[in-house]
Amino acid sequence: MIKKGFIAGIVMVEIVLALAVFTGKWSYLYFVSGTMGAVSLVLALAYLIDSIVLGSTGTFFSATKMRKVSRVEDAKRFGAIAAPNVLAALIYIVAG
């Protein structure tokens, strides 16, 4: 799951990078990638807190065979999505 999240984050950064190259507005890296990274970090933190408070697998009704992914794995996936986006925003800040 972490690998899929990291690949999704890299694809998001590539799309934003292509948009920045074609428009010539490099601030998109900061605003769009930074926002996606921040939202992903907030979701990762929310899933992690949710797993601590409510347990790892969900309630009685949501713990079906279709839902075998734990909340901790969801938190890891959102963290992996956030990593490339936050890194792209930080590179823009340092290089800017």
54-83 pLDDT, tens digit per residue, is 766 655 555 555 555 688 888 999 999 999
pLDDT band of 87, cuts 50, 70, 90: very high
C-alpha–C-alpha distance, residues 34 and 26, integer Å:
12
The pLDDT, as a whole number, for residue 43 is 95
Instruction: Map out the domains of the chain as residue ranges.
Output: 2-95
Taking only the tens place, the pLDDT of each residue in 2-43 is: 899 999 999 999 999 999 999 999 998 899 999 999 999 999
pTM of the model: 0.81
